[in-house]
Amino acid sequence: MNIILLGPPGAGKGTQAQKLVEDRNMVQLSTGDMLRAARTSGTEMGKKVAAVMDAGNLVTDEIVIGLIREQLEAGGDHGGFIFDGFPRTLPQADALGELLKEMGHTLDYAIELEVNDDILVERIIGRAAEAVASGGTARADDNEESLKTRLMAYYKQTSPLIGYYYAKGDLRGVNGLSAVDDVAAEIAALLDA
Ligand code: AMP
C-alpha cells in the first residue's frame, strides 16, 4: 500500500502518518521533516531553504523531488510508503507518478483530510502555544504571518491536486475534524477495504 495524505497545514497529516507507521509498519516520507533535518545538520541545501520555509513558502520542486527519489531508492522491506506533505504542486505529483512507475510501485490512494479553515488556524496557533508551554520552541513557521502564507500556498499550489487525484480515481476523503483515533479508524477502513 502506498498512500498520499493530502490536506492543508494543521490538518493532521503528520499525526495520522505516525499512527500508520506504528500500526502497519509503513514508512513515513515527510518532505517537511527531511527539510528540517537538513537545516539542523547545516547542509548547503538546508541553508538554502531556511528563509523560504520560515516565510511559509514552498521550496523548489527540484529539491523535494530529489529528496523523495533518494528515499524511494533506499528500498527496504515495509508495509508501504506514506507521502506526507508531498506532493504539493502538480509537477511534484507528475514526478511522483513517474518515480513510482520506474520503481515498479503503484499509488493506492490520495487521502484528503477534510477540515475547516477556522479550526486549522486555531490548531496551528495552539500547536505553537503547547510547544512553548512544555518548555520547547514552536516551529519557526507556526506563527500567524507565515501561517497565512502557508494557507495561501496550499490553496494556490496544492489544492489543485485534489482534482488531479479525483480524475485519476485515487482520491478518497476522510473527516479530518474528528478525534485523532476516529480519523485513524476511517483511514484504516479505507486501507482494509
Ligand atoms: P510541512 O512540515 O509539511 O508543513 O512543511 C514545512 C515547510 O517545508 C513548508 O512550508 C515548505 O516550506 C517546505 N516543504 C515541505 N514539503 C514541501 C514540498 N513538497 N514542496 C515544497 N516545499 C515543501
Sign for the CA dihedral angle at 145, 52, 6, 187 comes to negative
Note if 172 is an active site residue: no
Q: What is the pLDDT of residues 126-182, one digit of tens each?
A: 888 888 899 998 878 888 888 889 999 999 999 999 999 999 999 999 999 999 999
Q: Is the CB of 172 under 6 A from ligand 1?
A: no
Interval between CA 180 and ligand 1 midpoint (Å): 22
Note if 24 is an active site residue: no
Q: Whose CA is nearest to atom 11 of ligand 1?
A: 58
Q: What is the pLDDT of residues 32-43, one digit of tens each?
A: 999 999 999 999
Q: For residue 135, what are the β-bridge partners? A: none
pLDDT band at 118 (very low <50, low <70, confident <90, very high): confident
Q: Report percent pLDDT > 90 for the chain.
A: 81
pLDDT value of residue 139: 79
Q: Cα 31–59–44 angle (5° rounding)?
A: 85
Q: What is the mean pLDDT of the chain?
A: 94
Q: How many CB atoms lie within 10 A of CB 43?
A: 12
pLDDT value of residue 76: 79
Average pLDDT, integer, range 53-79? 93
pLDDT value of residue 8: 94
Which amino acid does the sequence have at 142?
D
Q: Is the CB of 39 under 6 A from ligand 1?
A: no
Q: What is the pLDDT of residues 102-111, one digit of tens each?
A: 999 999 999 9
The reply to whether the predicted model has a pTM over 0.85 is yes
Interval between CA 162 and ligand 1 midpoint (Å): 17
**Cis omega (within 30 of 0) on the bond before 87?**
yes
Rounded distance, CA 107 to CA 100, Å?
A: 7
Interval between CA 101 and ligand 1 midpoint (Å): 24
Q: Is the CB of 86 under 6 A from ligand 1?
A: yes
pLDDT value of residue 68: 97
